[in-house]
Amino acid sequence: MKTLKIDVKSGEKASRLELFVRILWLIVGGIILWFYSIIAIVCIIVHWFFILITGKRNKTLNNVLRVYLYYKTKFEAYLIMLTDERSPLLPED
C-alpha cells in the first residue's frame, strides 16, 4: 500500500483579488468535482465487487480513486485557504 503525501504551501501575504478568484474557482471546480465524484462512487462499487469476486485489487480502478482523492484534497485545501496555490481544474495523472 502506498502512502499519500500532499505538500501544502502557504504564504504570509494574502490578496483580496485572490478571494474573488476562489469564488469563481469554487463554482467551476465544484462542478468538475461533482462529476468526478459520481465516477468515483461508481468505481468504488465496481471495485468492491471486483475484490469480492477475484480477491485482488484492480489497478485501473485503484488509480482512478487515488487521483480523485488527490484532486479533491488539493481542491479543498485551496478553498479553505490553507494554500494560495490553485489546484488544476482537471485532475492530473
Whole-number Cα distances in Å, 32 to 19, 27, 56, 64, 88: 20, 9, 30, 15, 11
Distance CA 67, CA 20 (A): 27
* Residue 86 falls inside a structural domain: yes
Domain that holds residue 45: 36-93
* Residue 67 falls inside a structural domain: yes
63-82: pLDDT as tens digits: 999 999 988 988 888 888 87
Between vectors from CA 7 to CA 4 and to CA 8, what angle results, nearest 5°?
Answer: 130
* Residue 84 falls inside a structural domain: yes
* Residue 27 falls inside a structural domain: no
- Asked whether 61 and 46 are in contact (CB, 8 A), the reply is yes
* Residue 68 falls inside a structural domain: yes
Which residue did the predictor score with more confidence, 16 or 70?
Answer: 70
Overall number of domains in the chain: 1
Which residue did the predictor score with more confidence, 42 or 91?
Answer: 42
* Residue 6 falls inside a structural domain: no
* Residue 43 falls inside a structural domain: yes
* Residue 15 falls inside a structural domain: no
